[in-house]
Amino acid sequence: MRSCRVSTEIRSALIAYGLAAVLSAAIVTWRLELWDVGLSIPFRYGGDAITGLVYTKAMLDNGWYTHNSYIGMPTGWVLYDYPGLHTIDFIIMKILSVFLGNYALLVNSYYLLTFPLVAISAVFALRQIRLSYSSAVVAAVLYSLIPYHFMRGEGHLFLSAYYIIPMAVMLAMQVGNDSEVWRSLGALRSLFNVNRFRLLCSVLACALIALADIYFIFFSIYTLMVSGLSATLSKRRKAPFVSACGLIVVILLVSTANHLPVFAHSRAHGSNPSAVQRGPREALRLGLEINGLVIPMGCQGIPTIDQVLSDHRVAHRGRRLNPGNYLGLVGVIGLLILFVEILKMGSLRRSDSRLRQLSIMNIWLLLLATVGNLGYLFALLVTPKIRAYDRITVVIAFLAIAAFFIVLDSLGKRLSRGKAGRAAFFLILGAFLVTGIFDQTAEGYMRGVSNVLEYETTKQQYKADAAFIRGIESRVPKNSMVFQLPHHPWPETKRHKMGSYDHLMAYLHSKSLRWSFGAMRDRPGDLWLRKTSTKKVNKMVESLCLMGFAGVYIDRYGYADSGEKIVARLRGLLHQEPLESEGGRLVFFQISEYSNVIRNQYGLDEWERKRAKEHLQLSWRRGFYGMEKMATNSWRWCQPCGELWIHNLSDRTIECTLVMSLGSPQSHSSQLVIDSKLFRDSVELSREPQLLENDMVVPPGDHVITFKSDAPNAARKGAKRFCAFQVIEPGLSGVHWCTREKNRTEAQRINGA
């Protein structure tokens, strides 16, 4: 009898999951008019959507997305300074890639898959908080179709994959209920014990959360902490808080393990705090406005209402609200229910414990995310790297929709005592489903993904860019490197009309070329690209030839004069007409012939010496200040401890001599110790600068030289800097390639050390 009930429950669950997934997928297909678009061309082609496409193509080309040997040349693309490790998303995409080999098809398919995945996850979570199957299915479908999902679209592909959120709320509800799962750990005796099984499910859910987007991890931890604390205070039991801490520890442990490659990269290559710069003020600019949750976009199909709503979407500070934050009609009603529940809490009247929990979580989420609240304090006191608090909409939407259907479900239980009552309840559910669909999938929200007119424009631009890149591939040898102008570092840098990631479009259409854009800010590749791009055109092209680049790619949108100057100078230097894209925005010059000319001018030996020198880069890191100049002298100050990194960008060992003068303006002498795997030395610092010349054999890769001094501060009183000593006129001399035998011996010595 018991097994019969279990099988019936499993069958009902599978039907509910399948129905929610099918309904969600069918509605998306209908509202996006997918029969009129080709899935092999991305829905979005521009802005932040480019990064999702590039990550996916990098995974297909290189096995995983954190490294890419086709962009960021001459060093390649390494993502660890800007991780955002969306591991769970890429695991799913990796599985899909077995069947889908085209990156655009894979991105489109995964985005569409997020709708049924969210619906299935929501049904599971809502069933755990005791919603009926019918209410859970309708609520899950509406939750999968919130405007957030469409407005984020492929522009924020991994934020659209919010199927983790229902699991996080479910765990928080279990913690708030003082679930026996954690209280009875000592009584577990069998692997199939119910409590142990639930515990394992909870741990698995935490592990999945830890592999998701960093914002989802942060919101989940916050929600668990709020639920645990509130339950502990109200019930005067420590178990809920202990349970919350246990779940949070699991999330943090798995997330830390997931980020171990990031820590290893930082240890091996030094930290890079300038890669991604954030400030507390961004938490204000990207915070949540409550009126944005309840005011529609103004595209519901009734002109007068649409105009009024559109006018009201301008905030009191003149900031236009994010249309993707709108919760939908059902969500707005649910939000009001949660507000009313907060007001009832002090009364003697008993209310649904589920609503109490949801209302507590909701009010604390609003206190965190609303402009100027706890999120801003967190950015000031802890870290500003969590800044876009309006992304919490996806959590609030689930709470609000769940609250609405908890109330509706209670009504349904009263109505379901007879056939007519059950029919009426199902009609009410259907009415809210249909109303919610049209409300949440209005045309304006669809533009966050695609519509037929926009898609046609996207398709034309996509095919035009593909044709231009094919033209470049036909002009240069396979695996050639192409230098992209104007130079700007990855990530998040715009120039004039050019977007932050527009240079990456070239890689998307390329099959055999390697591109310069994508080098991480202030890493060796970016430093070389930055220095080279600022040279005069003839010297710039010479450096490119020495490094092995075969062409120059120019995006006119990145220049105030639409690139007229740089194109004219390259045309005059190279004596060739460039290849231009349709519309003339993109320009390409081949430089292979010019490379042969200057190689013949220098002769083979001098050419090779120049090549070796071009591949060596110095990077003054922690402890060193910027270069200062006066007349013909140049120097930089250093704190008591400093790091100089030497980067060999080639795959061969290079011999050179590091030349610099070291001194301190103090009247008494002090000691400076220099240590590295390349050489060790010590200098007696004094007013008279001491010339230092050290021979080095530099294998490929990054090598750090540390400076440690006991010199006192030479800065004037009141200065913020600590100036211990000066490095005067630093540079490299006698640079040349190492012999093969010496190369092998030195590599063994360095690795052994």
d(CA 652, CA 615): 10
CA atoms lying within 13 Å on the CB side of residue 570: 24
66 with 508: CB under 8 angstroms? no
Q: What is the pLDDT of residue 316?
A: 47
Q: What is the pLDDT of residue 308?
A: 59
Structure tokens at 50: 């480019």
Q: What is the pLDDT of residue 352?
A: 78
Which residue ranges in the chain fall short of pLDDT 50?
180-194, 315-317, 348, 753
55 with 87: CB under 8 angstroms? no
Return the percent helix, strand and coil in the chain, to nearest 5: 55, 15, 30
* Range list of H helices, 270-317: 281-285, 290-294, 303-312
A 10 A CB-CB count for 629 gives 8
Closest residue by Cα to residue 523 from 278, 276, 697, 214: 276
**Beta strand pairing status for 579-580 and 586-590?**
antiparallel
- Crossing angle for the helix pair 133-144 and 103-128, to the nearest 10 degrees: 150
- Crossing angle for the helix pair 133-144 and 328-344, to the nearest 10 degrees: 120
248 with 224: CB under 8 angstroms? yes
Closest residue by Cα to residue 409 from 371, 357, 352: 352
508 with 103: CB under 8 angstroms? yes
CA atoms lying within 13 Å on the CB side of residue 153: 24
**Beta strand pairing status for 586-590 and 549-555?**
antiparallel
Q: What is the pLDDT of residue 322?
A: 76
Closest residue by Cα to residue 301 from 442, 192, 162: 442
360 with 230: CB under 8 angstroms? yes
Q: How many residues does the chain have?
A: 753
Query: The tokens 């890419």 sit on which residue?
Result: 68
Instruction: Give φ, ψ of 722 to 5 degrees.
Output: -110, 105
> Structural domains in the chain?
455-602 (no CATH), 618-752 (2.60.120)
Q: Give the contacts of 614 (CB within 8 A, at least 6 positions apart).
A: 543, 546, 547
693 with 659: CB under 8 angstroms? yes
d(CA 518, CA 380): 30
Q: What is the pLDDT of residue 751?
A: 52
Q: What is the pLDDT of residue 268?
A: 84
Query: The tokens 């390639």 sit on which residue?
Result: 737
The predicted-structure confidence for 538-597, as pLDDT tens digits, reads as follows: 999 999 999 999 999 999 999 999 999 999 999 999 999 999 999 899 999 999 889 988
* β-sheet bridge partners, residue 647: 617, 702
Q: What is the pLDDT of residue 144?
A: 96
**Beta strand pairing status for 481-485 and 549-555?**
parallel
Q: What is the pLDDT of residue 187?
A: 40
d(CA 549, CA 574): 14
| 8-state DSSP, 624 | B
The predicted-structure confidence for 262-275, as pLDDT tens digits, reads as follows: 998 888 888 888 88
Q: Give the contacts of 318 (CB within 8 A, at least 6 positions apart).
A: none
Q: Give the contacts of 719 (CB within 8 A, at least 6 positions apart).
A: none
Closest residue by Cα to residue 366 from 404, 327, 329, 405: 327
